[in-house]
Structures are given as structure tokens and as C-alpha cells.
Amino acid sequence: MKTPDDINVKLDSWYEFLRQIPQTIHQLNLRWWTDEKGRDIRANPYCFSNKLALIHSEISECLEGDRKNLYDTHLPQFPMRDVELADALIRILDLAEAYNIDIAQVMIEKLKYNRHREDHTAAHRATENGKKY
């Protein structure tokens, strides 16, 4: 059985790999970051919020696909929920990279933190005010 320290070392070793994913996604999607005149849209104070709204729409489409058991119209070999979940992840990682958020490091630290959270235990969830889901 792996110890918490073993798992933390493994998580730390993922950093370089995880760091490449948002960098690559952002390079593939640079066209999303300029307006029709080629200007960087991040100058718009609402840009971040607008991108968050697009992430939200992907999650809503994922829910709708799951609720109705639909297959995607562009990638019909996949359930719509799978494609929309991938879309949301792509948008999240692209947004993080566009705003210089080291999402790989934040994810690793958050995974480490969550492993020891009292409110994530079955015993705590069973309490009157525990998280039920």
C-alpha cells in the first residue's frame, strides 16, 4: 500500500507532464483570443467572465446530453456528455494558460490538500451538517 508521502511524490512528478497540456491546448486555440481586427481580447475587463460563461455552457450541454442520453452531432461515435465534458476541460485549461495560471501546480496542491480534508471523510458526511454530495 502506498503511503501519503509516496502519493505526494508521484503527484509532484506529474508536474511537467500536466504543465504541457494547457500550454498545447492554448497554442491550438490562439484564434479564440483575438477579435476580428487581431487584437488581444484579454484587454476587455469582461473577457475572463465571458470565457467562464462558455465553460458553464459546455457543462450545461454535458448535463443535457446525459439527461437525454444523446450522442454528439459532430462526433457521433461519442455520447454528447463525453464530448461536452472534453469541451469544458479544453476551455478550462485554455483559460488558465491564457491568464498565466499554473493550473498544473494548483491541481497537484489541491489533490494533496483534499486527501486530508476532514469534510471529505465518510464519517463527516454522515453528520447532520455533513456534505451529502
- The pTM of the full predicted model, rounded to 2 decimals, is 0.86
Mean pLDDT, the chain, as a whole number? 93
- What whole-number distance in Å separates Cα of residue 18 and Cα of residue 32? 22
Q: Which residues, at least 6 apart from 10, have a Cβ–Cβ distance to it below 8 Å?
A: 2
User: 95: which 3 cell numbers?
Assistant: 483559460
pLDDT tens digits for 71-115?
999 999 999 999 999 999 999 999 999 999 999 999 999 999 988
Dihedral sign for Cα atoms in the order 119, 121, 123, 126: positive
The CA-based angle 59-39-33, given to 5 degrees, is: 20
